[in-house]
Structure 1
Amino acid sequence: MSFFLRKLPFALVGVACALIAVALFSGQWGGLKRVFEFYGVANEGVVASIRLLSAFVFSSVAILSVLALCLERAVKPLAIFLILLSLVPLLSLLGSDHWIDSLGGFPAIGSGQGVIKYFSLLVLGITWLYRDSLSPQKLIWLNYFPVGLVLLWIGGMKFTALEAQGIESLVSTSSLLSWLYNLFSVQTASNLIGIYDLVALIVLALGIYIRKLFCLGVLLCAAVFITTQTFLYTFSGSWVSPGQLSGSGIFIIKDLWFIANLLVILSFRGVAIKA
């Protein structure tokens, strides 16, 4: 089981990055255009070239992820690639384009919802680069950070009318969640999802200290990201064509990274208990 927990995160990162690379090569942007705009890139030709470069970077990460499944020496290059890849979009959060002015700006996040998911890759990179020098407990909290952050941030946004309306097209197609609209209004359904997100992150945080709550916390958080992945099958707007993600599909597939974080937490939790 410990071998499985150590290796599966590489596979999840590889699958997600491979699909994102295909989408970028085929002309999708996945929110990267606003990231480039933060760096002052406006020329259409330059932007297109950077998109292709980004596709090659994601392809490289996918290849290194596959190699890391079998070759230990591939882990460090992968970690460095992940850190560099994630820092470029994350720095764009310092600009104003990702924040919703009508809701007061920061922390009301708009296009940045896809950008903050790169915290997951950043942490995975740091984990794989320093896993031999950091204690299991520190690595557990390190990987909790992106999970807790995204659930707090996007979960909190669920209480706004803008976000409630924004997720309606996704939730209404889901066999797991669409029933909410049969019982509640669009806003109330969104509020309930937001409450679930907040409860999940709190239970997992407590579970890191209280052993009896740990598995429940992991399951609650994992349910969020696994449910998101089902949108790839239920929401027709996830794909442009077979094997080619749309912009929405790119946003959805990134949640595989958080499942990788949870698997890392599980693997180091076992080490921490034995210690």
Structure 2
Amino acid sequence: MMAKLSSLFVTFSRVAASSQKLGINLIRVAILVIFMWIGGLKFWNYEAEGIVPFVANSPFMSFFYTKSTPEYKDYKLKEGEYNEVKHQWHVANNTYGFSRGLGILIMAIGILTFLGIFSSKIGLIGAVLAIIMTLGTLSFLVTTPEVWVPDLGSGEHGFPLLTGAGRLVIKDTAILAGALVVLSDSAKRVLNQLK
């Protein structure tokens, strides 16, 4: 009985060890799906409005908007809500224009990363861009007050208590790890081609 279990374990381990290439390519597919979906959502007004706190508070991106940082708080909309006055503020703020441009960039990065299955050089570029993008997203944990539970009297607030916005951001740690794996694979393949 123990010999059979040992043999099954060895067989399983060999199969698992040989699945590395498949796993790396599945990371590329996952990045493609996530980036295409999230990038595509940037063309919807509710998503564009939802990213305003992140962009407005970012020292790297706030210049894309025309309005000052604290002003956006007066024009927040719930997902699916419509208010003409608030909508017009977002039009004037360049909320929708920026979001659509960001969506195109995100989708392009997803496609470049995915194409690493077929071209190591293209995949290398995609992985580098995916890493830069996810580091930018993770910077929101430092720059965006809305990622932490506010002090509203319960005694539960601040670090490490993430809001819905914070939970949205923290998932990029997994994308960052996947992009690093893909980067390493693409770089190895590029180096092998240079030999």
- TM superposition score category, shorter chain reference: 0.5 to 0.7
How does 1:93-172 map onto structure 2 within 5 Å? 131-136=16-21, 138-172=22-56
The letter of the residue matching 1:227 is: G
Q: RMSD between aligned alpha carbons?
A: 2.6
> What's the CA shift string for 1:126-158, capped at 9, x where partnerless?
xx996403152x222111122111110010000
Could you tell me which residue of structure 2 aligns to residue 215 of structure 1? Answer: 124
Identity %: 30
How does 1:70-81 map onto structure 2 within 5 Å? none
Secondary structure at 1:243's aligned position in 2? Answer: coil
The letter of the residue matching 2:160 is: G
Could you tell me which residue of structure 2 aligns to residue 266 of structure 1? Answer: 183
**Cα gap change, 1:173/1:144 in structure 2, threshold over 3 Å: closer, same or farther?**
same
The letter of the residue matching 1:196 is: L
The letter of the residue matching 1:139 is: G
8 Å CA contact retained: 1:155, 1:198:
yes
Could you tell me which residue of structure 1 aligns to residue 135 of structure 2? Answer: 226
Total equivalences in the alignment: 147
Could you tell me which residue of structure 1 aligns to residue 59 of structure 2? Answer: 175
Could you tell me which residue of structure 2 aligns to residue 187 of structure 1? Answer: 96
TM-score of the aligned structures, taking structure 2 as reference length: 0.66
8 Å CA contact retained: 1:170, 1:231:
yes
CA distance in 2, matches of 1:166, 1:234: 16
8 Å CA contact retained: 1:131, 1:139:
no
1:184 shift after superposition: 6.8
> What's the CA shift string for 1:190-221, capped at 9, x where partnerless?
00000101111122222332233232111111
Could you tell me which residue of structure 2 aligns to residue 198 of structure 1? Answer: 107
8 Å CA contact retained: 1:139, 1:268:
no
Secondary structure at 1:145's aligned position in 2? Answer: helix
- Segments of structure 1 that go 5 or more residues without pairing to the other structure are 1-127
**Cα gap change, 1:256/1:154 in structure 2, threshold over 3 Å: closer, same or farther?**
same
8 Å CA contact retained: 1:143, 1:265:
yes
1:261 shift after superposition: 1.0
CA distance in 1, matches of 2:144, 2:172: 15
Secondary structure at 2:17's aligned position in 1? Answer: coil
Point out the structure with max Rg over C-alpha.
2
**Cα gap change, 1:206/1:184 in structure 2, threshold over 3 Å: closer, same or farther?**
farther
1:224 shift after superposition: 2.0
